[in-house]
Amino acid sequence: MVDDRLRPGTASDEVTSASTAIEAAVLDNDRYRLLVENIVDYAIYMLDPTGRVVSWNRGAQRFKGYADAEIIGEHFSRFYTPEDQATDLPRRALQIAATEGRFEQEGWRVRKDGSLMWAHVLIDPIRGEDGTLVGYAKVTRDLSERQATKAALQQSEQHFRLLVQGVRDYAIYMLDPRGRITSWNKGAQRFKGYADEEIIGEHFSRFYTEEDRATALPARALRTAATEGRFEAEGWRVRKDGTRFWAHVIIDPIRGEHDELVGFAKITRDVTERKKAQEELDATRARFIQSQKMEAIGQLTGGVAHDFNNLLAVVLGNLHLARKRLPHDRKLLQFIDNSIQAAERGATLTKRMLAFARRQELATGNIDVPELVRGMAELLQRSIGSTIPVGTQFPLQLPLAFADASQLELALLNLTVNARDAMPLGGTITIGARDERVIAEEVAGLKPGRYVCLSVTDTGEGMDEQTLARAADPFFTTKGIGKGTGLGLSMVHGFAEQSGGRLILKSTPGQGTTAELWLPEAETGNLREDATQPDPALPALQALTVLVVDDDPLVLMNTAAMLEDLGHAVLEASSGEQALRVLRRTDDVDLVITDQMMPGVTGAQLIEAIGSEYPALPVILASGYAELPEDQLAGIARLSKPFGQAELARALVGTLRSEGQVLAFRPKHG
């Protein structure tokens, strides 16, 4: 008989199969338990329905610091901070897991040693086959490092945000890819004038000038930044109130993880003050270079005028002597007179050149300005033409000015012609004068004192600030080619400065120009005492012995010839040293005439030596220069080059008269 337990498909087989399944299940449970218990990167443990710990894996031990024996049976709320315990978070977490099937959260948890860790927590309910709650599965992961990194990143972002927002010297803001503003810092608000709510969302092109927008500069700037990685430039930008400032601009593209363009970072700095400082530095450098050029031109002009004066002195002297000796031939005398007039015009030109160089010897005297203007009325009207009327405005009483009358006439003629040229469509010219007083502070470079201000006003085109600033510069002119030398106003300026006054120009575009010539007021004297009045007949002099000193042989010969023609004996010397040797050889010299500009010993040095050795010997200094050592030449008679025989004779008489000597008496020295 066969045992039923050994037959396939019997109850015995079922028992064996069930036993195998149980063993497999137990084995699976053991494997699962081993798997969970050996996980070290997660804390995985079980809670009973009240929240007490019933299992503990290695990960929980590593994170929390408790061994199995220390924590099994304890309530899991000890892992929560006092703040979370105060809000009953542990109980609420279990309740949420039981009712909603899951509880998940990140937050601070407490280790055994009291330190905190940032944990990701997941709580799932565990239920029996009948749905009864038998406990909770709790999985915790330590995210402290990630949280620290995140916190550091947030702190860094916050610091950067505070830094950007707090910067006031730079406008730092963001643009989207289309150029619309997405952020705005305090520096941007200070430079541009817009508050956040006014500008966020607006296009940044509103900061550009109309000229830049017309050339599509904003779009080109973004395109350059996007394609080349950077845009940098300087230019004018516009504030909210419409004013402009000079800005240094940098635009950088901002790209995402996949190199897609997400926007632009724009940094703007207001460098208006730096630009102004650079412009002032450039202008100062230009003025310095210009002053060096003008100094060189002035020296060249003065040197040329000095040599030209010597030549004109010879020409005029010889012409006058030749005219006296020629037979009475009307045609021949006319030629001589024409030559004399041409030479005198050349002498006038040298005076203007020396006025420009400020080296002219001025024949100053008292001038009745209204009378001088009336005396020039015909000349002025003829010079400017009949289509432009000239009016005058003078007070009933005006003090006398102290200046060179001939130079003042030239200056007035120059200013009047300039006024005419400024009115191509016609207009009027007004010549006026007034009494002015400068008290304590200097006015436009004038020293305190009283002045006569002669003005020429036109109703012409006027000048802008840039043109006005350069109007008196040598060789600067607004006239067409061949219509102006650019020396007119500079010569007037030189004459005014040398006279102790000032040329002041006032002008407004479209409203005309006023040129004011300020001249010192005469302190004493009147018109009858004016040096410009005709001299009385010169008294005859007894024959003198005159020592003439000049390094130019032509001038020396010409001066000697004029003196001999006047009946005087002449001794010649070509240098100061030679003149002293002549004086030491003889005591027959009655008077010395010396040039100033000589190599070696100058005229001033020669006069000083003569004054030391021969204090009673009169000396005349012949020169065309105004820049002479006045401290050495006080009381010394002057003879302005070029001079003719009449000027030479007057100088002889004036010198001997000032010395208090009898004109017919020959002084003795020794």
Given pLDDT bands bounded at 50, 70 and 90, which one contains residue 5?
A: very low
- Burial zone of 178 (CB within 10 Å; 0-12 exposed, 13-18 middle, 19+ buried): exposed
**How confident is the model over 130-154, as pLDDT tens digits?**
888 999 989 998 887 776 666 655 6
Listed in order, the ranges of the chain carrying CATH 3.30.565.10 are 364-529
The half-sphere exposure of 56 on its side-chain side, counting CA atoms within 13 A, is: 20
Phi, psi (degrees; rounded to nearest 5) at 608: -65, -40
Residue 388 burial (CB count, 10 A): 18
CA distances from 93 to 3, 5, 59, 447 (A): 60, 54, 21, 95
Which region among 125-129, 155-159, 236-240, 604-608 has the lowest average model confidence (pLDDT)? 155-159
Res. 666: pLDDT tops 80? no
How many beta carbons lie within 10 A of that of residue 339, not counting itself? 16
Between 226 and 290, the more confident residue is: 226
Instruction: Say which residue, 325 or 177, is predicted with more confidence.
Output: 177
Single out the residue of 544, 551, 595 nearest to residue 571, CA to CA.
Answer: 544
The residue-averaged pLDDT of 486-500 equals: 73
pLDDT for 528 equals 34
Tokens of 491: 């010569």
The answer as to CATH 3.90.870.10 being correct for domain 364-529 is no
More confident residue, 199 or 535: 199
**pLDDT at residue 538, as a whole number:** 54
| Of 501 and 382, the one with more pLDDT | 501
What local confidence, expressed as pLDDT, does residue 281 receive? 82
pLDDT at residue 36 greater than cutoff 80: no
**194 and 206 in contact (C-beta within 8 Å)?**
no
Q: Which residue has the higher pLDDT, 622 or 313?
A: 622
Q: Where in the chain is CATH 3.40.50.2300?
A: 545-658
Residue 163 CA, distance from chain mean position: 33
Residue 497 has pLDDT above 50, yes or no: yes
Angstrom distance (rounded) from CA 118 to CA 593: 111
Q: What is the pLDDT of residue 638?
A: 83
Pair of tokens at residue 16: 């064996």
**pLDDT over 70 (residue 335):** yes
More confident residue, 420 or 154: 420
- pLDDT recorded at residue 355: 54
Superfamily of domain 18-143: PAS domain (3.30.450.20)
Q: For the domain 167-270, what is the CATH superfamily, name and number?
A: PAS domain (3.30.450.20)
Cis peptide before 642 (omega within 30 of 0): yes
Q: Provide the residue type at 153 as one letter.
A: L
- pLDDT, position 669: 41
- Best CA proximity match to 117, nearest among 145, 91, 152: 145
571 pLDDT tier (thresholds 50, 70, 90)? very high
Q: What is the pLDDT of residues 471-492, one digit of tens each?
A: 655 544 554 433 443 445 777 8
Mean pLDDT of 536-561: 82
Return the exposure string of 511-544: e unless at least 16 CB atoms fall within 10 Å of the residue's CB, then b. ebbbbbbbbbbbeeeeeeeeeeeeeeeeeebeeb
Rounded Cα–Cα distance for residues 667 and 243 (Å) = 81
What's the pLDDT band for 421 if we cut at 50, 70, 90? confident
**Band (218; pLDDT cuts 50, 70, 90):** very high
Contact 56, 50 (CB under 8 A): no
| pLDDT at residue 663, as a whole number | 45
* pLDDT category of residue 442 using cuts at 50, 70 and 90: low
b/e string for 447-461 if b means 16 or more Cβ within 10 A? eeeebbbbbbbbbbb
Span 74-85, pLDDT tens digits: 999 999 999 999
pLDDT of residue 486: 41
Average per-residue pLDDT in the chain?
79
pLDDT above 90 as % of the chain: 30
Q: How many CB atoms lie within 10 A of CB 407?
A: 25
Structure confidence at residue 187 as a pLDDT band (50, 70, 90): confident
Residue extent(s) of CATH 3.30.450.20 domains in the chain: 18-143, 167-270
Amino acid present at 189? Q
Q: What is the pLDDT of residue 319?
A: 79
Mean pLDDT, range 179-196, rounded to an integer: 87
- Is the confidence at residue 667, as pLDDT, over 80? no
pLDDT at 360: 52
Burial degree of 80 (CB within 10 A; 0-12, 13-18, 19+): buried
- Domain at 545-658: CATH code: 3.40.50.2300
Measured CA to CA, the distance from residue 451 to residue 76 in angstroms comes to 105
Mean pLDDT of 121-137: 90
- Those residues with Cβ within 8 angstroms of residue 68's Cβ, 6 or more apart along the chain or in another chain: 56, 61
**What is the residue type of 259?**
D
Give me the mean pLDDT over the 330-334 stretch: 75
Picking from 216, 206, 150, 151, the residue whose alpha carbon sits closest to that of residue 173 is: 206
pLDDT digits (tens, 9 = 90+) for 156-178: 555 555 555 555 678 888 899 99
**Mean pLDDT computed over 290-316:** 65
Task: Give pLDDT tens digits for 188-211.
Answer: 888 888 998 899 999 999 999 999
In tens, the pLDDT along 234-273 reads 999 999 999 999 999 999 998 988 889 999 988 888 888 8
Helix, strand, coil percent content, the chain, rounded in steps of 5 = 45, 25, 35
